[in-house]
Structure formats: structure tokens, C-alpha cells
Amino acid sequence: MKIKPEPPGAYGFPGHWLEGKLENPKLWSSEQPNLYTLVIVLKDLAGNVIECESCQVGLRKVALVHKQMLVNGLPVVIRGVNRHEHHPRAEKTNIEACMIKDLVLMKENNINAVRNSHYPQHPRWYELCDLFGVYVIDEANIETHGFFLTHKFKHPAEEPDWASAMLDRGISMVERDKHYASIIVWSLGNESSYGPNHSAMAGWIRGRDSTRILDYEGGGSRTSSTDIVCPMYMRVWDIVKIAKDSSENRPLILCEYSHAMGNSNGNIDTYWDAIDSTFGLQGGFIWDWVDQGLLKDFNGAKHWAYGGDFGDEPNDLNFCLNGIIWPDRTPHPAVHEVKYVYQPLKVNLLQDGIQLKNAHFFDTTEAFEFTWILQGDGNIISSGLLDVPIIAPQRDYVIKFESSPWETLWKKCEANEVYLTIITKLKHSNRWIKEGHVIASSQLSLPANNLFISHVIEMPKVSVAKEHVGDSIIFSKKDAWEINVNTKTGTIDNLKINGKTVLTKKGIFPCFYRALTDNDKGGESNSYASKWKAASIDSKISTPLEEFSVKDLSDHSSQVSARLVAKNSYGALLTIEVKDTIYASGDVILDYNVIPKDDLPPLPRVGIVFHVEKEFNRVSWYGRGYA
């Protein structure tokens, strides 16, 4: 390596540059975080060592091409989260063990990228991201969230008096963090509108560091100061529309999406169906990683405290709890879904077999072991190792059914539902994950051989017995079952099986409301909760009966038809057309057709409530997944 004088017109701190060339280096990426140890020794003229410094160095190249961000020449996909610095006891004090815990959890759950929200973080964090292999967006400590509420002052982004302060924050971030390989993108800040001061900062950073690209969402996420289209919380159809816009040459990476507050993250698979299938979409960062609650003792019981729990006024209540993990780093249930949509080994069902696809960009499948499980009606039929050749990055391998180890067992299986589960595990422990850790799992529904559905309604050649008693029509089969339909409400209000009452007198009723989630309340007057309240969907709703009839059908069943109108104190909201088909076997098919008013917002729920007797307090569940 050679010392060279600083080039004329260079940006940044003055000094000398140390330049050298490394032949055929091992490049750094999230999948292969190769690092070199750089040692710099300062000697005097006599050869005596005056000072010696060393650090870890990663070599990689970030570039932009048409609608793609490339790392080492490949369009890596960002499977990311936003991360605040937070500890449940030490608050914003950084603890290395907590950083390592975060990175281990991220790697275990297929997360490969972090956006530092919303400030440069502790230097040790970047060293660990280099070591573990996590892509980083480093973000300048600039945010003016809420400034739009004042109309008296010019926005700092447009105010010349604020230019030096904003530039200082961007310059300080770049100069301090420029040597970390994990940082592939610089961010100009968060939610700070857009103005000339951002343009100045973008110009300075581009002049100082041509090895990285810029990201900034403010001003609509498509200004000249960002190299990535980086919206937050944009609808799936809108990101697809931008990706297909021929006039937009930049890749789209969501800087925030899938707001993880409370019961949330439910449609993240829809985002990833689009990302995995649309050129120009390159991933995103979930908001956010960890709940920022603090451990507090309340009358001898400990819980996670948030705004208002410390006598603080005003406060944001639980709006600091947006993570997919608890403050103590225990995963929320949503983490399992995140891990699934982020998994790098995909399994697809073909007409004559299954396709295993390696979605990695640098790693082969050499480090993985594949196993299979065949299940029929929820019971394991057989399982075993799957002999799969090494699959190169971005390549796939097809297993034909006729040569698969489950073919014979599957063909002999008489189950109504047959599922095949493919599990990918780590063969040997690495720096962050122990051997046997499940990297990916996929479950496929195989065609059943007996062509039966799970339940077939018997069709006895006798009509359903029925009688009118007061305000009820009673359908029954002696000593077997009894169903009461209320002629005043048009609903089933009692059900007995073998003489045992199953439903309470409230019976079965339509329902159009549910408990609010935290995300329902977000957006103030534009939130779903506000819209439902304005439409009075949250108020007490009655369902008076408008029409009622009963008729016998040709297959010896009876059909109850009813027309209900859902009303509140302000008037009608919905019309409900009900058809209950009752068979002599005791089977009942409920068919509800709900017609809302044209001016209603999207409904919080369209469903029915079964008011069962309290003694029925245990539920068995059969569904997808494996234990």
C-alpha cells in the first residue's frame, strides 16, 4: 500500500490517502461476510514503531442499474427491519450483549438488513453488522416529524439558517462510518419534508462517497436526492404500479412497511408475493424491530411500561410498542410469519413434482440438509432425509413425484387430506446459528387419492321433521338432534344434539364489529377506527326481520330464508340475506349475503357469532403447519 496526497477538490477531512490493490479478494455480503484485518504501522525514520492500529475491513461494490441495486454485481433482495437502540432496563444505553442478541435473532429469522432508525448508532453496532453479515442503511439524525402542524415558521429543510446544521449531521455520519462494509446506503434522515438543504446534503455525500447510494423518503420518496424509490406503508398495488412505470429507472425498496403495532403484520405475504414476482421491487424494512417498553414494577407485578406509566403528560401511550419482538427480545407470533416470507429456500408445487429454489445470491445449499414429512388427515405417515444435490444461487432443482421417497406411501394413502412438508436445516453450527436450526419450511397440499371431501352430507330419503311452536319452528330427528329457528328474528336460537343444549338462547347472529387493533387507530381522523365511529358501526346495532319464509326442497331438506336489516340509531347500514339449509342428517349450511350501504367504509368484520354454552370450553384445531 502507498500513501498518496489528497486529490485536489476532495471532500471531507484533509489528510493523506492510503491506497493499495488486493488481487482476487473475497468479497463481503450478508451471505458471505468476508473480512480482512487491516494493520497500519507508523514508524519513525529509524524504523521504530510509534503507533500501530488495526481494524476489520470488508470489500464489496454497490451499484445501480436499471431498476436494480446491485451488491457485488447481483440484485440482492432486502429482507429488512427498522431498529431503534433500546434496552428494557438500560433504555438507550447500548449494551454489546443486546446488540449480539438482536443480530442472532435476525439471522435465525432470515432478516438480512437493518435501517438505523433514525440516527447513526453506536460504532460497535456496525462492527457487529460487518461480522454477522447484515446490510445497513445508515441514517442521518434529522427528523422534523410534526413540524407541519405549525404554520408560523419556514420549514428547516427550506430555511438557509438550518443548512449548516443539517449538513453537519449528514457529513458527521459519513465521515465517522464510511469504512464499515455493512453500510450500503446513506439516508438523509426521516420524515423531514424536502427542500434545498436535502439537495445540498445529497450533493455533498455523492461527492464524498461514490461507493454507496442515497435513500430519502421525504418529499414523496421520488425526489432527485434519492437513488431508491423508498416509500413507507404504500399499498401493494401502488408499489407494483411504480415498478412497472417505464419512466422510473430506480429500484423500489420500502423504507417502512407492515407496521408491527399490536395484532398486525397480517398481509405481509401479499407484499412478498408482489416483491418475489415483480422486477423493480427489491424488498423493504418492517416497522419495526423491538418494542420500546421499559420494565416496571406495578404493585409487585412487573410489566412493560410505556407512555403515561411514569406520570408523563402529554404522552403517546403505547405508540412506542411497534416491534416484532418484546423488549426482552422474546419473539412475537408475527416473527414466524416474517421468517417464512423471508426464507431463502422456496418450495413450489408442480403438476408432476416439486421445485426447490435457492433464492440466495451468493450461497449454495451445501450447508443445508433437507427433510420431508408426509401427513394424512393430520397424522404423520412417514418422514425422512431428502437427497438433494447442491443447488447453486438463484437456481432450482425439481423432484419428480415418480422418483420421490413419498410416492408409494402417498399413492396408498386413503386420507382425505394429504400434506407434504419440506424442511431445510443447517448441517453445522456457524458463527450465529446452531446446527439443526430450521432455515426454511414449506407445506404443500397433495391431491388425495380417494377423491372424497372431508365431510359428505348424508341424504336420507325422508323429509326433515318440523313443527311450529309459538315463535319457533323446530326441526328435529328423534333422539338425535333439534334445531330451533326463531320466526321473529329469522335466526337459529337453539341447538340440541343427543338431548344436550349446545347454543344459548342468543343463538347464531350476524356480527360486523370486533375489538380494535392498534393499527386501526393509526391516522387520527383518517384512521379506520375514526371512520367506523363516524359511520356508527361501533354503536349498538339491531337486526330487525323484514322477510321470513320456510320451504321444503326436493332433496328432502328444508330451507329457511330471512331478510334482516342491520340498523343503529341513525338508520340502516346493511342488508343481510340469510339462507339456512337444514338436512335430515342434522347438517346445516348457513349462507349469508351481506349488502352494505355504498357510503360505508371497509367493514371491520363480516361474520357470525355462535353463542355456545359455557361448558364447551375446549377447542381442537386442525390446520396448516407442523409442530
- Residue 475: in which H helix or E strand, if any? strand 472-477
What's the pLDDT at 53? 93
Taking the domains of the chain in order of start, what are their residue ranges? 75-293+321-341, 344-446, 508-612
Q: What is the pTM of this model?
A: 0.89
Nearest to 129 by CA among 148, 111, 154, 149: 111
What's the pLDDT at 110? 97
In the three-class reduction of DSSP (H, G, I as helix; E, B as strand; rest coil), residue 313 is classed as coil
Topology adopted by domain 75-293+321-341: TIM Barrel (3.20.20)
pLDDT in tens, 542-591: 888 999 999 988 777 899 999 999 988 888 889 999 999 998 888 899 99
Inter-residue contact 69 to 228 (CB < 8 Å)? yes
Q: CATH for 508-612? A: 3.10.450
pLDDT in tens, 213-244: 999 999 999 999 999 999 999 999 999 999 99
What's the pLDDT at 451? 56
Angle between helices 268-277 and 236-243 (to 10 degrees): 10
pLDDT in tens, 342-398: 999 999 999 999 999 999 999 999 999 999 999 998 899 999 999 999 999 999 999
Cell numbers of 599, please? 357510503
What's the pLDDT at 299? 87
Measured CA to CA, the distance from residue 17 to residue 535 in angstroms comes to 66
Region at 490 (left for phi over 0; alpha for psi -120 to 50; beta for the rest): left
Query: Does 75-293+321-341 match 508-612 in CATH topology?
Result: no
DSSP 154-167: --GGG-GGGHHHHH
Topology adopted by domain 344-446: Immunoglobulin-like (2.60.40)
Measured CA to CA, the distance from residue 83 to residue 352 in angstroms comes to 44
HEC states along 326-346?
CCCCCECCHHHHHHHHHCCEE
Measured CA to CA, the distance from residue 621 to residue 15 in angstroms comes to 68
Measured CA to CA, the distance from residue 40 to residue 213 in angstroms comes to 28
End-to-end CA distance of the chain: give it in Å, rounded.
Answer: 56
Residue 163 phi, psi (nearest 5):
-60, -45
Question: Which residues are catalytically annotated?
Answer: 191, 256
- Give me the half-sphere count of Cα atoms (radius 13 Å) on the Cβ side of residue 406: 27
Residues of the chain with pLDDT under 70: 8-14, 450-460, 624-627
In the three-class reduction of DSSP (H, G, I as helix; E, B as strand; rest coil), residue 457 is classed as coil
Angle at CA of residue 425, ends 259 and 131, nearest 5°: 65
Nearest to 550 by CA among 441, 436, 474: 474
β 2-5/16-19 pair status: antiparallel
